[in-house]
């Protein structure tokens, strides 16, 4: 479970995230929607402990990312935006390396690597050098490392970015399946992801939550019944004022 409590991050006078509070329960897939620069990645980096909040806190399975960072991080599988890879490693070699980082050894390590390869459909390229992989397979390899330790919480930053339509479909279906037993938070600006994968979504704009609900509840907030129209209505206020 993820509990975000009054999370705030400012860089000088600029607020990237401004007093955000929300929860993601077990068995829930929360889509974190917003335009570029809305504060999505900054929020995820705070929840995962990569950057320190200016104020507020985030708890992962009851553990504060500020006061109990190691316990919190142990529960998280994280796919950052533009996740790094070691190009000279094979897929299986990279996943074994990540398993070592997670302190997995022996049979547990072997089974974790095999499970991640199977879950992310990497069997055909498991012994291939990462620098020879297509973008889709590189992305799946990044996702596989996030799943290695079978975390209770998954935090995925733009998990379908740059994938072709077939690959996007595969990842969306995978997220939906994993969401049956895990708490999943994933950011996107692709509104189709909401219907495809999410049980709930929040829309953020300029560091604040401007809408929160199930896909159907959000659509009802639009006069046209369109999530696209609601998104534009809530996230283009600056543009609207400028053109008025």
Task: Report yes or no on 174 lying in a domain.
Answer: no
- Chosen domain end from 150, 171, 204: 150
Quick one: what percent of the chain has pLDDT higher than 70?
97
Average pLDDT over residues 95-115: 96
SS3 121: coil
Confidence of residue 239 (pLDDT cuts 50, 70, 90): very low
Q: How many domains does the chain have?
A: 2
Task: Report yes or no on 171 lying in a domain.
Answer: no
Answer yes or no: is pLDDT of 240 > 60: no
| Same domain flag for 99 and 188 | no
Task: Please write the tens of the pLDDT for every residue from 41-92.
Answer: 999 999 999 999 999 999 999 999 999 999 999 999 999 887 789 999 999 9
16: domain CATH number is 3.40.50.300
| Same domain flag for 49 and 97 | no
| Same domain flag for 145 and 198 | no
Residue whose C-alpha is closest to residue 171's, from 107, 39, 92, 79: 79
| Same domain flag for 158 and 244 | yes
| Same domain flag for 47 and 92 | no
Task: Report yes or no on 172 lying in a domain.
Answer: no
Task: Report yes or no on 6 lying in a domain.
Answer: yes
Answer yes or no: is pLDDT of 241 > 70: no
Task: Report yes or no on 136 lying in a domain.
Answer: yes
Q: Which two tokens stand for residue 204?
A: 């953020």
Which range marks the domain in which residue 114 is found? 82-150
Average pLDDT over residues 161-190: 87
Task: Please write the tens of the pLDDT for every residue from 148-169.
Answer: 999 999 999 988 877 888 888 8
Answer yes or no: is pLDDT of 236 > 80: no
Answer yes or no: is pLDDT of 21 > 70: yes
Task: Report yes or no on 205 lying in a domain.
Answer: yes
Task: Report yes or no on 173 lying in a domain.
Answer: no
| Same domain flag for 106 and 44 | no
The C-alpha atoms of residue 197 and residue 187 are separated, in whole angstroms, by 12
pTM, two decimals, is: 0.89
Q: Which residues of 139-163 are buried (b: 16+ CB within 10 A; e: fewer)?
A: bbbbbbbbbbbebbbbbbbbbbbeb
Task: Please write the tens of the pLDDT for every residue from 190-210.
Answer: 888 888 889 999 999 999 999
| Same domain flag for 5 and 71 | yes
Confidence of residue 237 (pLDDT cuts 50, 70, 90): low
| Same domain flag for 158 and 146 | no
Q: How far is CA 122 from the centre of its chain?
A: 20
| Same domain flag for 94 and 117 | yes
Task: Please write the tens of the pLDDT for every residue from 125-147.
Answer: 999 999 999 888 898 899 999 99
Confidence of residue 23 (pLDDT cuts 50, 70, 90): very high
The C-alpha atoms of residue 100 and residue 43 are separated, in whole angstroms, by 28
| Same domain flag for 159 and 235 | yes
Task: Please write the tens of the pLDDT for every residue from 3-18.
Answer: 999 999 999 999 999 9
| Same domain flag for 70 and 188 | yes
User: What pLDDT sits at residue 168?
Assistant: 85
| Same domain flag for 50 and 68 | yes
- Other C-beta atoms within 10 Å of 59: how many? 19
Task: Report yes or no on 168 lying in a domain.
Answer: no
Place of tokens 């547990």: 108
Residue whose C-alpha is closest to residue 162's, from 79, 101, 61: 79
């Amino acid at each position: 479970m993820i509990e975000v409590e009054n999370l705030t991050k400012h860089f000088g006078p600029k607020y990237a995230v401004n007093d955000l509070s929300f929860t993601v329960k077990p068995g829930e897939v929360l889509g974190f929607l917003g335009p570029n620069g809305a504060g999505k990645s900054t929020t995820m980096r705070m929840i995962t402990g990569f950057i320190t909040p200016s104020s507020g806190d985030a708890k992962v399975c009851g553990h504060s990312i500020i006061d109990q960072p190691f316990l919190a991080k142990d529960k998280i599988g994280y796919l950052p935006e533009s996740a790094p890879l070691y190009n000279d490693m094979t897929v299986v070699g990279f996943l074994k390396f990540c398993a070592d980082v997670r302190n997995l050894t022996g049979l547990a390590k072997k089974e974790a690597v095999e499970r991640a390869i199977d879950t992310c459909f990497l069997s055909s390229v498991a012994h291939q050098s990462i620098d020879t992989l297509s973008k889709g397979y590189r992305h799946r390899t990044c996702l596989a490392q996030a799943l290695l330790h079978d975390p209770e919480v998954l935090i995925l930053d733009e998990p379908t970015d740059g994938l072709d339509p077939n690959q996007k479909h595969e990842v969306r279906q995978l997220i939906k399946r994993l969401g049956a037993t895990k708490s999943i938070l994933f950011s996107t600006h692709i509104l189709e992801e909401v219907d495809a994968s999410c049980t709930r979504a929040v829309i953020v704009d300029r560091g604040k939550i401007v809408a929160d609900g199930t896909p159907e509840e959000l659509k009802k907030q639009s006069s046209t019944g369109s999530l696209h129209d609601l998104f534009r209505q809530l996230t283009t206020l600056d543009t609207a004022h400028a053109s008025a």
